[in-house]
Amino acid sequence: MRLSFAVITTCFLALPAHSEGNRVEWSDLIVESAQDYEDPFVELTDKQLNALRKLVRLQALLEKVGATPEQLDQLQLDIETTEATLAEEGIDANWLISQRWVVMERREKAGTAANVEIDGANVSLGGFVIPAPRDEDGSQMAYIVPERGMCSHVPPPPPNQMVRLHLSDTWTPSTLYEPSL
């Protein structure tokens, strides 16, 4: 997504933004239709998610070559026990495991779908700036994000909540830790 900014900020700094364009909010960058999908993992507790992770690891170990018959028996017992524990909580573990790649693709689409209606438009957008390596042509680069703290947030915000900035080489910040408006 390309957005133009008249005055921009850098390196954990933010200044009021002035633009000839329209004011947009971060929510305007998100495609709502991409956000509407069923995620069967969202209602699971941490304990249930950990049990699913354990089950995936156990199943992978079961398929590994070189295990002794005793190890295979123990793995199978651990798998059955974990599946039974989840089943008691109303969770179909094997179905959920089969859905992980489908949900991953939906989450990725939700996080990367960009609003094409404002692509290339001259807009004003407030936020906080993360420094970035210089562009191939040597120009200063940064990313603007919606909230303070995303500057060091791991993992980074979704791509539709990061806007790449081309900074003027003459621009210098005048205020630290102030959000742009």
Q: What percent of the chain has pLDDT over 90?
A: 33
Give the pLDDT of residue 162: 84
pLDDT digits (tens, 9 = 90+) for 110-136: 888 888 888 778 888 888 887 788 889
Q: What is the dihedral of CA 65, 53, 42, 83, to 10 degrees?
A: 80
66 pLDDT tier (thresholds 50, 70, 90): confident
177 pLDDT tier (thresholds 50, 70, 90): very low
Look at residue 39 and tell me whether its pLDDT is greater than 50.
Answer: yes
Using alpha carbons, select from 132, 139, 176, 172 the residue that is nearest to residue 8. Answer: 172
Question: What residues form DSSP beta bridges with 80?
Answer: none
> Mutual orientation of helices 69-88 and 46-63 as an angle, nearest 10°?
150
The model's pTM: 0.59
Q: Which residue has the higher pLDDT, 120 or 11?
A: 120
Q: What number of other Cβ atoms are within 10 A of residue 76's Cβ? A: 12
Compute CA 55 distance to the chain's CA centroid, rounded to the nearest angstrom: 25
Report the run of H or E that residue 142 belongs to, with start and end: strand 140-145
Rounded Cα distance, 16 and 175, in Å? 10
Q: Which two tokens stand for residue 135?
A: 């562009």
3 pLDDT tier (thresholds 50, 70, 90): very low
Q: What number of other Cβ atoms are within 10 A of residue 14's Cβ? A: 23
Give the pLDDT of residue 21: 61
Give the pLDDT of residue 151: 65
